Amino acid sequence: MIIKKKNTWFKMLFEWRGSVLPQLLPRLLLLLLFSFSVVYFKPYLIAYNLHINPAIFTLFGIALAIFLGFRNSVSYDRFWEGRKLWGALLNDTRSLARQSITLINDPDYDAKRQDFINLLTAFVYSLKHQLRETNPDQDLNRLLPKQLVEQLKDVQYKPIIILRELGIWVKNAKAENKIDSITQLAFEDNLNKLSDIVGGCERIASTPIPYTYSVLLHRTVYIYCFLLSFGFLETMGWITPFIIVFIAYTFVALEAIADELENPFGLQPNDLALDAMSQMIENTLLELNGQKVTSIPKTSNYCIT
């Protein structure tokens, strides 16, 4: 996720880091060269009537802008829903940690309470790794007992198995008469919320925007941009390539941003900072349990993962 303070209106015009322009530059340069070629061969193109009425591009451009707006809205909805799910994850893990501390007043239960908080933290990290398809071994090894880590090695849905262990912890606390039935239900309610969060994240990650729709919009944007040169051929002269590139930048950039936001759990610059959020959740659970917070090294980079 890009974390930067906004510059003045003038500096924002030349902003480079955090913009999609660097990845679009080769495509825009190709379009610029193509437009220059069209203008250079203008006499021949006009002689063979290879120019297009610009009014067609006006009507088609409005329709294309509407479709791109819809595409961006859908992608941002997925991004924002993912952020709300991880915000709920923070709240629910805090609630469970607080319940384990305040509803069990036995000092001899401190070690088991620490196991519960470690399970909560491991649940968060395992969900992050599942969504990003990365290796969770390093985080699981430092948070969980070796026996449980071994059980999780060949498991596909690790957060759900850890959720089961959290449920077993609550069941054992009830069996040892550390909590009553009403308190157990309070724990179970928050555990069910964690299950809903996992399901919501999996739904976003496993259900992309239909591929045929993305292909259609992608083709339409680029064909429109390359044909624009023939529409402005007779009216703008040598300024045509620069106008074409500016228009293309708007359309192509919107498409590129929508592609990044479509899967909010990835590692692209505009995706959610799951590493930072996982660390924040771990720190708040440690503080609730009266432990020292893990320091997060400061970085001068404008993008956090």
High-pLDDT (> 90) share of the chain, %: 42
| pLDDT tens for each residue of 42-69 | 887 777 777 777 778 888 888 888 888 8
| pLDDT tens for each residue of 1-29 | 666 666 666 677 767 777 788 888 899 99
Output the average pLDDT for the chain. Answer: 86
Average confidence (pLDDT) over 76-87: 94
Domain count, the chain: 1
Q: Answer yes or no: is 298 within a domain.
A: no
Q: Answer yes or no: is 219 within a domain.
A: yes
| pLDDT tens for each residue of 91-144 | 999 999 999 998 887 777 888 899 999 999 999 999 999 999 999 999 999 999
Neighbour tally for 20: CB within 10 Å = 18
292: left (phi over 0), alpha (psi -120 to 50) or beta: beta
d(CA 27, CA 249): 9
Q: Answer yes or no: is 302 within a domain.
A: no
Average confidence (pLDDT) over 73-87: 93
* C-alpha triplet 52, 58, 64: angle, nearest 5°: 110
d(CA 44, CA 50): 8
Q: Answer yes or no: is 301 within a domain.
A: no
Q: Answer yes or no: is 266 within a domain.
A: yes
Helix orientation angle between 181-206 and 110-132, rounded to the nearest 10 degrees: 20
Domain that holds residue 28: 9-288
Q: Answer yes or no: is 34 within a domain.
A: yes
Average confidence (pLDDT) over 278-292: 89
Q: Answer yes or no: is 299 within a domain.
A: no
What tokens appear for 132 in the block? Answer: 């990003």
Q: Answer yes or no: is 190 within a domain.
A: yes
* C-alpha triplet 255, 86, 170: angle, nearest 5°: 155
296: left (phi over 0), alpha (psi -120 to 50) or beta: beta
Query: 151 or 233: which carries more pLDDT confidence?
Result: 151
pTM assigned to the model: 0.86
